[in-house]
Amino acid sequence: MIPFLDLKAINTQYRDELVAAATRVIDSGWYIQGTEVKAFEQEFAEYCGSKHCVGVANGLDALTLTLRAWKEMGRLKEGDEVIVPANTYIASILAITENRLKPVLVEPDEATFNLCPEKTAAAITPNTRAIVAVHLYGQIAPMPELMELADQYGLLVLEDAAQAHGASIDGRKAGNWGHAAGFSFYPGKNLGALGDAGAVTTDDEELAKTIRALGNYGSHKKYENLYQGVNSRLDEIQAAMLRVKLRHLDEEIKSRREVADYYLAHINNPNIHLPAVGSPESHVWHLFVVRSKQRDALQKYLAEQGVHTLIHYPVPPHQQKAYDSLRVESYYLTERIHETVLSLPMGPLMSRKQCCVVAIAINSFK
């Protein structure tokens, strides 16, 4: 069976470096908010080209705490509208509703699965205060146009960069376009820890300080509490793992692009829709998502051919039980996307032979 993603093999490549890093942390006797987190924050900020990086416990917290910080700073208030793509992973929307902000779901561009400037502009009302720009499947959203729109209407932009570490437009990376960006380092993400981890990048020093305090019980200084905060910190051990993984991220992205290029060049079944890509740098191929009207039959057929696939995502947020308030709406494109998408095996260690097996299997599907 060709696995969807062989995480064990990916991490095993770096076993010696990871063990050395873990040993360093164990032997240091210091496990929370120490030198590893500090170093990772500097290295990841530098990687993204951002001034600040604040480590948090996971990607959802990165998004939630950024919106919360803007509320504490008086830049957002309860009930403000936040534009978000309807086809995103539910975490982008949970971050909005957790802060009692109002998610305004917008249909994506059907070719890229990301927000498009026209539909985003059409969704702006006098109550709109922010946009959550999700870089879905690893492809960066059209940030120059979205930022122009945000400037025009005075909106805050939060990038959900959980799937797009290293993607860029005109040399400017995900995490360095919006007023802030939330990253996830969930193990299966392109930059994955060995457990939960996340971070916010921003050029705004006050925002970075506020998020840091919010994630540390609302405290910027020991035993002084400015906010009713939470506990959401990046652990030393995960920071140490991430420092190792970050050093290899660019090679891994290169390998993913080679897999994607192979698929794009060799999959030629007229019933299978290939993903649209802009410039090569804009996509880091967290997922390689094809579309088919016979998606379920295709998935079954590929499994019979030894090709493991997944669906990202089977049910859109507005059709989830969790969201009664959103279930009254229907989003035609989003629903069609969820019915037809299929994610092919994708990862930095896929061999040419495995790519070939996948392409042949898909091309033989009738």
Given the complex with ligand PLP, which of 40 and 186 has the nearer CB atom?
A: 186
Structure tokens at 15: 């076993």
Q: CB neighbours of 355 closer than 8 A, spacing ≥ 6? A: 259, 262, 263, 266
3-class state of residue 348 by DSSP: coil
Given the complex with ligand PLP, which of 41 and 362 has the nearer CB atom?
A: 41
* Smallest separation, CB 279 to ligand PLP (Å): 21
How far is residue 238's CA from residue 251's CA, in Å, rounded to a whole number? 21
Whether 149 contacts 156, CB under 8 Å: no
* Smallest separation, CB 185 to ligand PLP (Å): 7
Given the complex with ligand PLP, which of 92 and 340 has the nearer CB atom?
A: 92
Q: Which residue is nearest to ligand PLP (CB)?
A: 59
| From 102, 189, 300, 366, the catalytic residue | 189
Given the complex with ligand PLP, which of 283 and 362 has the nearer CB atom?
A: 283
Strand partners, 106: 85
A 10 A CB-CB count for 302 gives: 20
Structure tokens at 286: 């967290």
Given the complex with ligand PLP, which of 120 and 184 has the nearer CB atom?
A: 184
* Smallest separation, CB 346 to ligand PLP (Å): 14
* Smallest separation, CB 272 to ligand PLP (Å): 24
Query: Is 254 among the catalytic positions?
Result: no
| CA-to-CA dists, residue 260 to 97, 110, 190, 250, 256, angstroms | 35, 19, 14, 15, 6
Q: Is cis: bond before 313, omega within 30 of 0?
A: yes
The total number of residues written for the chain in this structure? 366
* Smallest separation, CB 60 to ligand PLP (Å): 4
Point out which residues bind ligand PLP (CB under 6 A): 58-60, 88-89, 91-92, 134, 160, 162-163, 184, 186, 196, 198
Residues recognised as catalytic: 189
